[in-house]
Structure 1
């Protein structure tokens, strides 16, 4: 055999071997475009574009998804080199709405800020919308709806949305927290960022935990506003958390002389009222704005507790007053809230993504026995489901359970600031406290009298200021002057 023939054979073998090993390769890309999701106010410098990544990273020739990204330029002439990446909660909520309000974000005084849209949410391509689900939510809230049909209609909606999304080519198994974390890591690599800071809130704090576990090298510091620990089984205790926060607020009213004088024994009276209405629902008649006819709603304790759950931080001082109005049969506020139920249903934006995350990451780790107990344990709100999605819905959605590691606490020495609202029933203070045991360089700030999402409390930007101070010096617990000025709420005793 000649040397020439041997060389040709070797070349052929090498070519075949390389082709077999690297048949297809995909590299994430970021492409700038003049197209934006929102109109950005004048004076704010930014870049907008789309990050293109694989839907399933094990299939280089499979579906590609596009995620909109804003890179807002710092207002500083000499910005710090490590930008902040911000993505919001949900799961299923869009981050892009924040793009219109950058003038209020203190972070831009010091750094660039990257606004990241999670896969499957409103402005991503594709967006996993479920108008079928939104329609059933609307129908089930109308006064003449037969509650015996609730389960079957939601199951049907889940089936229809699932089938439509799968028929369009979407693989619902890959819309999970760990895939979103990988998307963020890809973006950081594509942009050539050496170090960055992470700002997360509510559900996206889970993304933050996965990032510091799986991709820690480039993370300088993390802020987790209203954190949701990976290891918590949310659905098993959500009703308990709600009642604990309500109890805390009403006890604070009772130890305040003015509040207690105006609304004596408000806690026991309200809880007794809720239990009474659970057994004998409150009848409320309101005019249907669509046809002018009177409609009758029947409200139980699980509905009436909405007076607490619907309140924002800014409306906390009015909660005892609003409860007292209900106890005195002043239903004006309730009627105003019920009017919103006649609004036409939306498009179920991001609902498919929410279903995929919850049914892959939360539902599989739940104890259905505990959920049944939680649903019926408290006579004041008996029948209030603690679950985001019932087990039957997740069986229909039919996505793969994530690995067990996604339900295990994350340990890290990366500097982390945990921020809680004292009256936050969605992600209670106790959860953030538990996380400090595993996050060795963490600090915890509790905002007295506040509810969920302190960094987005536009009437008082103190939590945002604390977060920004932490980004500037993550080795120290932030202590802005405004934080020491926050006291227990002064409850209103008369309507303004």
Structure 2
């Protein structure tokens, strides 16, 4: 062999040596088989196990936690090798129940479905659930104490109880969960996956993509909260915008002008006028003999409206409810008190940790004041049940600033929201589309947060089949753009 031949053979080896090989993120972790925490149709092959991961990857103490997942196999012998991986929103909600619906949907026809429980949530070991905050809130209502002050008392008790169990609250945040998901993919040897998220987990799944896109085939995000959005600075305005759309419908469509005419201005005037006022309600707790004289403010009235807004089937009732409230009929407070005084636990520890690390650590109190100046009828109202004074007690470190930054991606994505979403407005899917040019957006009119339903399932399945093909809708109430 001549010298030229030898050099020719060595060049590829030399180039390979100099070229860094980009390895996929994620560490192969130990799995521990466990019973399935949710009941699945027995005709499907199902795998249930714990993923064992560090509680806090920044500490070298070796302490681990267990995160369950449920993998349901498609019955299709020609199924695709890119499963759908779901994790829940909140933050703080359980994820595993999703597979119970997935096995009845179109998605299981072509792909395996995986539900992954986030750290700190219900089926994780440990979970960050507790009763201390709820007990403090109930005490506030029963004794007519200041609600905000008692929530601070409850949070302090809650934190102390969790830390007494040896839980490191600094380990429960989006950055750690992103690492958990990449570890799961590495452990299960999944080279291509479709990520499905809703609300908070819409932003979480985007953060998984941001960390490393090599395994990610596509994203499907329902009513997403992008990580880079400061929701504490937005959410009261989001609620107001959703109401304004409803008021526009009422002004245009209602024939009862005496009751519903000029409803937007009347609503804003009334709820501004009752700022700082205290009302009383005769409330009988379940199992009690004597009624309580419970004090409430406009916050409880707003709580009721916000909760109804989340329920798409009840949105049309809101104009009537508002006119009743403005006439002094506050009977709706009973529904709020039923919730607060019967088993209410408040935001979970996981929700507290994530919101404090992701959001409160990065928002501006000055901007929040500007917001209340623009919407005085919402001044001082905490739409989000995690807010600055509570996080001042919780004291967890913020997530990596890089995680909070927008980023561009050519990956295909399906972005959906409801026109009446009062938490994460359709503006957010427009913002995500700006950074993801291969994304498609779907708007469901007169729907709220978390779209769901058969039309959404059909669009999702069409997208999964060919994520680059333009979707269409023949229904005027479903806008694809």
Same structural fold, with TM-score higher than 0.5 when normalized by the shorter chain: yes
- The within-5 A match list for 1:369-384 is 369-375=366-372, 377-384=374-381
Q: CA deviation at 1:447?
A: 0.8
Q: Check conservation: 1:254, 1:266, Cα contact below 8 A.
A: yes
Describe the shift of the 1:169–1:302 C-alpha distance in structure 2 as closer, same or farther (beyond 3 A).
closer
The reply to whether residue 463 of structure 1 matches residue 456 of structure 2 is yes
1:88 touches 1:95 (CA, 8 Å); kept in 2? yes
CA drift of 1:124 comes to 0.6
Structure-to-structure mapping, 1:378-393, within 5 angstroms: 378-385=375-382, 388-393=385-390
User: Higher mean Cα deviation, 251-260 or 352-361?
Assistant: 251-260
- 2:17 — aligned with what? none
- Aligned to 1:67, the other structure's residue is in SS state strand
1:477 equivalent among 450, 470, 475: 470
**Contact 1:253–1:259 (8 Å) recurs in 2:** no
Question: In the aligned structure 2, how far is the partner of 1:392 from the partner of 1:110?
Answer: 48
**Offset at 1:243?**
1.1
| Partner of residue 134, structure 2 | 134
State the SS of the aligned residue for 1:436. Answer: helix
Deviation at 1:93, TM superposition (A): 0.9
- Closer, same or farther in 2 for the Cα pair 1:480/1:70, shift >3 Å? farther
The CA distance in 1 between the partners of 2:318 and 2:383, in whole Å, is 22
CA contact (8 A) 1:278 1:301 kept: yes
Correspondence 1:368 to 2:365: yes
Structure 2 match to 1:85: 85
Alignment of 1:345-494 (within 5 A): 345-346=344-345, 351-375=348-372, 377-385=374-382, 388-455=385-452, 460-481=453-474, 483-484=475-476, 486=478
Instruction: Give the TM-score normalised by structure 2.
Output: 0.86
Is the CA contact 2:133–2:154 (under 8 Å) kept in the aligned structure 1?
Answer: yes
Mapped contact 1:209–1:410 kept (Cα < 8 A): no
Instruction: Quote the residue 1:72 is aligned against.
Output: 72
Aligned counterpart, 1:318: 317
Question: Residues 439 and 86 (structure 1 numbering): CA distance in 2 closer, same or farther, change over 3 Å?
Answer: same
| 2:222–2:417 Cα contact (<8 Å) kept | yes
Distance 2:380 2:56 in 1: 39
Q: 1:248 to 1:64 in 2, by over 3 A?
A: same
CA contact (8 A) 2:28 2:186 kept: no
Q: Deviations over 1:10-60 (max 9, x none)?
A: xxxxxxxxxxxxxxxx84122333x12123344343111111112233556
In the TM superposition, what is the alpha-carbon distance from 1:267 to its structure 2 partner?
2.0
Contact 1:65 1:125 in 2 (8 A): yes
CA deviation map 1:246-302 (0-9, x unaligned): 111111111114465762222222222222333544543343333233334444333
Query: Offset at 1:339?
Result: 3.0
SS of the residue corresponding to residue 278 of structure 1 reads coil
CA contact (8 A) 1:132 1:161 kept: yes
Contact 1:307 1:319 in 2 (8 A): no
**Change in 2 beyond 3 A, CA 1:245/1:392:** same
Q: Which residue of 2 aligns with 1:19?
A: none
For 1:184 and 1:279, how far apart are their aligned partners in 2?
46
**Alignment correspondent of 1:18:** none
Which of 220, 238, 242 is the equivalent residue of 1:241?
238
- Cα deviation for residue 386 of structure 1 reads 5.5
Distance 1:195 1:27, change over 3 A: closer
Distance 1:70 1:393 in 2: 34
The residue that corresponds to 2:52 in the other structure is 52
Question: How far does residue 357 in structure 1 lie from its aligned partner after superposition?
Answer: 1.3
- Deviations 1:453-484, CA, capped at 9 Å, x for gaps: 112xxxx4222322222111110232254x54
Q: CA deviation at 1:204?
A: 0.6
Q: Which moved more, 1:92-101 or 1:467-476?
A: 92-101
Q: Matches of residues 186-335 of structure 1 in structure 2 within 5 Å?
A: 186-258=183-255, 263-278=260-275, 280-311=277-308, 312-335=311-334
Deviation at 1:63, TM superposition (A): 0.9
After alignment, is 110-119 or 396-405 more displaced?
A: 396-405
For normalisation by structure 1, the TM-score amounts to 0.84
Report the Cα distance in structure 1 between the residues aligned to 2:384 and 2:336, rounded to whole angstroms: 23
Q: Are the structure 2 counterparts of residues 145 and 283 from structure 1 closer, same or farther at C-alpha, using a change threshold of 3 Å?
A: closer
Are the aligned partners of 1:469 and 1:478 in contact in 2 as well (CA < 8 Å)? yes
Measured against aligned partners, the alpha-carbon deviations of 1:357-415 in whole angstroms (never above 9, x if no partner) come to: 12222112111222244346533233213654333322322222222212211211111
Q: Are the equivalent residues in 2 in contact too, given 1:136–1:153 (CA < 8 A)?
A: yes
**2:372 and 2:380 in contact (8 A); partners too:** yes
Q: 2:156 aligns with which of 151, 156, 159?
A: 159
Q: Which structure 1 residue ranges, 5 or more long, are not aligned? A: 1-25, 488-496
Report if the CA contact (8 A) 1:30-1:49 is conserved. Answer: yes
Report the Cα distance in structure 1 between the residues aligned to 2:48 and 2:279, rounded to whole angstroms. Answer: 51
1:302·1:382 contact (CA, 8 Å) conserved in 2? Answer: no
Runs (5+) with no aligned partner, structure 2: 1-26
Change (3 A) 1:369 1:402: same
